[in-house]
Amino acid sequence: MTFSYAKRHTLAKKKELGLSTFFLALFIATAFFIPYIISGHGYFIFYGDFNVQQIPFYQLCHDAVRSGNFGWNWNTDLGSPFIPAYSFYTLGSPFFWLTIPFPNHFLPYLMGPLLILKFACAALTSYFFIRRFTRTPFAAQIGALLYAFSGFSIYNIFFNHFHEAIIVFPLLLLSLELLITENRRGIFALTVALCAVTNYFFFFGMAVFTVIYWFIRTISKAYKFRFSRFLILIIEAILGVGLSVFILLPSVMMITSNTRVNDILIGWGGIMYGKEQIYLNIIECFFFPPDIPARPIFFPGANVKWSSLGGWLPLFSMTAVFSFCSAKKGHWIKRVIATCAVMALVPVLNSAFYAFNDSYYARWFYMPILIMALATAITLEDTDINWKKGFNTTAIITAIIAVVIGLFPQKTDDGIVIGLYTDAGQNNFYTFRFLIAVGFAAISLLICRLLIMLRDMDKKMLFRRLSTGFLSIIIVAYGCVYLYQGSSHSFDRESVMIDSLIEGEVNLEDEGNYRIDTYDCVDNTAMYLGYPSINAFHSVVSTSIMDYYDFIGVKRDVASRPTREYFSIRSLLSVKYLFNRESGDSFIGDDGYTVMPNYKYLDTQSGYYIYENKAYIPYGFSYDYYITKAQCEAYYSDESRADVMLKAIVLSDEDALKYGSLMESYSDYSENYEDPEDEDEFFVPEETPESELLPDLITSGDELGPDYTESDFIETEPVIPDEYVLSLSMSEDELYKDALHLADSSATSFEVTKKGFTAVVERQQENLVFFSVPYDKGWTATVNGEEAEIVKANIGYMAVKVPAGVSEISFSYTTPYLYLGIFISAVSLVVLIIYIIISVICKRVRPAHECYPEGDALIEKWSEEEYEISLKEESEKEISLLDKMPEKVEVFNQNDINKYDSGFKIDTSAFENGENSVDNNDN
């Protein structure tokens, strides 16, 4: 007999609350989301990453899936593989696939409802896990609400795609329980696959936690360890991973070369956090509602602004957790919580959930939070646990943190101020936020104390109703406050987020293939508007992009934002237009000229000033010179290397030997270079304004920009020679001429296809044709129908050799390891089906006897509790009847005593036989 069967048939039947928990969570989430959806005209607009990533990513992926473009995505940074780039954000999410039937423009309207649904699903899945360990559905419901609306979950509204992990994790632990305690086979493998597909980043952390969970459950002797069952566990884990390889393998193979992944935490940084405030911040997050990302209150010096540091259990805080741990000596739940606490405070152990990456994250806290919610649920129904000690401990810690952070003085530039929180004594907004956080924590503890009193008074129904009601109110209240605080840091919702981005349209009336640049715009503006761009806020992009930016000295971690000093890369990367947000910093400098040279004002649309780059180089051009990577590194600074790429193509030493004969050596040219006698014709004095270099930029007052007229400028005609002569000068004028020269050799035709792109070029002699498309192993190329070798050029891009004359070039992209992953997943599925069939047959032939000591103890304990409860209820009923009897007797004596003062008349007809007797009596 399994634990589930025994629990179902031994204990008194109770109405399960799984469905009601789902709808209650749905109602709670709706209550605090709906005001912001209404105020946003149907859109849920938050701030930061949610606005600039979640909404455009959903729209981009939705469009790609519906159009069947699963290969190369041109609108992700400079271009990236679609599946590896978005398996982290959207493609593994079941909620994303729910949007596919809807039209693309409707996606922004769905973001709010999808988040509401995610909260409800998290409550449902956690209810199933917690319910396994509770006697009553009520306790499981409270635990599920605590988990679904914990500080971690509310914090990560900012990171919409984190909620999928919160939803599936309880199912992983539940399936593990069913396997190790009841021998339910196949479920664990399927759940492992679900978790891995949903989000590979979080899956790694889940795997680490599951190992810890299983190990502690084993050493705590909660169930009887069997080596055969352990082997089954390993087999199902492998099969589960195998099922997910179709999406896992391409993603993992790309991110392993990501610089953010390769930085391993070692040295003292692995033993202690470099910033001491992190330790207190970790503790504080379990006693107070979460800070909003990027705007911390309690510990501004911790520098963990985007680390998802949240752990508060609404209403109950740590009271029940401390009470449980105090009462249950050696319990596996206590050991799991203690282990997680130690790991959170030791950097190298904390990073174990993220492959030992050196960046600090607390994005695994939802896992111990589930166990804390379970401890709270058990404490709610276990009358043997005394809440007072846990409550007192929680209240003392909360008070100490609030008093110290709120009242301890600190020295600032403005003198001595009271308070250690952000901008204490200077910014009333942060003071207000601090008081709000302290207020929520204090009010929750007061209500919790009231509930404890009701519990001690054995007011069960009142305790349950008030617990559910107050918990719901606290969640809605702090959810509303959190959304308000975050929304206050957003760009203007009406003019920027809605008018210029979500509903914005910019029609350039240019059907060519090019990229755009943005100046002081919202991140991923180009993605919103549907244009390829050199600007992108995206963590998972082609590694070639990162290689290129690293080579030229541009920091590329989570975003591509090349500064205006790197104006030459705009030409190299085929940037034709620049968008400048009307309400942002002006692209026109204080001197009246554009902040980057070679741009002219074109138009104003949807809140953007649009400028055209006159130094634009279309895709598919050729160089006259080459330089090796080693030479470029040796002779030029990081910033200058970007300029060199407008003069010579950068090749590896190996490729220089192979293709160097097609061009001249830039290094040799440099050694033999002599300045021309008439150099003044080609160089402009430093004091000459940039805009005077190119008279075609200043042809009418309308083209100057929104705030300037033609009279503000002096037009001059630079002297440009009839024949291009390479100069070693890196002046803006010379780089402009270099760009024009390269543009002359660009492809006569360039078309983007579903598989990649095609181009037509014409060359006087053999040469390499360069495309500023990121190099990737998935690319294959043909020239005039024949397979061609792809050369990795300019550090991160591609080139192919073409013969003299007209050549047709075709590039096709196939996601590396995708088909291998599909094959492995298919084989794993077949093996899993066979495994399940064999398991079912074996179970019928020889049923296994399950030994689950913890389960037996729980059933016995719960049975005793229910028996005691039933006795108590019966006793209460008897007492109730006895209480009523004197009243009845008293009424009888008063009303009827005179009526029967001569005795009682007894009817004996019922004892007589025969119909006559009955009739006589009736008469």
Residue-range domain boundaries for the chain: 3-11+22-42+92-487, 853-922
Q: Mind listing the pLDDT tens digit for each residue in 522-574?
A: 999 999 999 999 999 999 999 999 999 999 999 998 999 999 999 999 999 99
Strand partners, 808: 760
pLDDT at 903: 52
Integer Cα distance of 771 and 285 in angstroms:
49
Average the pLDDT over each of 147-161, 280-294, 592-606, 897-911 and give the range with the smallest value: 897-911
Residue partners of 833: CB distance under 8 A and separation at least 6 = none
Question: pLDDT band at residue 673, thresholds of 50, 70 and 90?
Answer: low
Q: Is the pLDDT at 315 greater than 90, yes or no?
A: yes
Q: Is the pLDDT at 621 greater than 90, yes or no?
A: yes
pLDDT at 285: 96
Integer Cα distance of 539 and 156 in angstroms:
17
pLDDT at 885: 54
Find where tokens 């559910």 sit. Answer: 468
- pTM for the model stands at 0.89
Find where tokens 């790309």 sit. Answer: 254
Nearest partner of 804 among 758, 769, 772, 757, judged by Cα: 769
Integer Cα distance of 207 and 199 in angstroms:
12
Mean of pLDDT over the chain: 88
Question: pLDDT band at residue 357, thresholds of 50, 70 and 90?
Answer: confident
Give 514's DSSP letter. -
Sheet holding 756-763, edge to edge: 749-752, 756-763, 805-813, 779-783, 786-788
How much is the average pLDDT of 511-521?
95
Under a CB-based contact definition with an 8 Å cutoff, are residues 206 and 165 in contact? yes
pLDDT at 653: 95
How is residue 522 written in tokens? 């919202």
Integer Cα distance of 28 and 150 in angstroms:
13
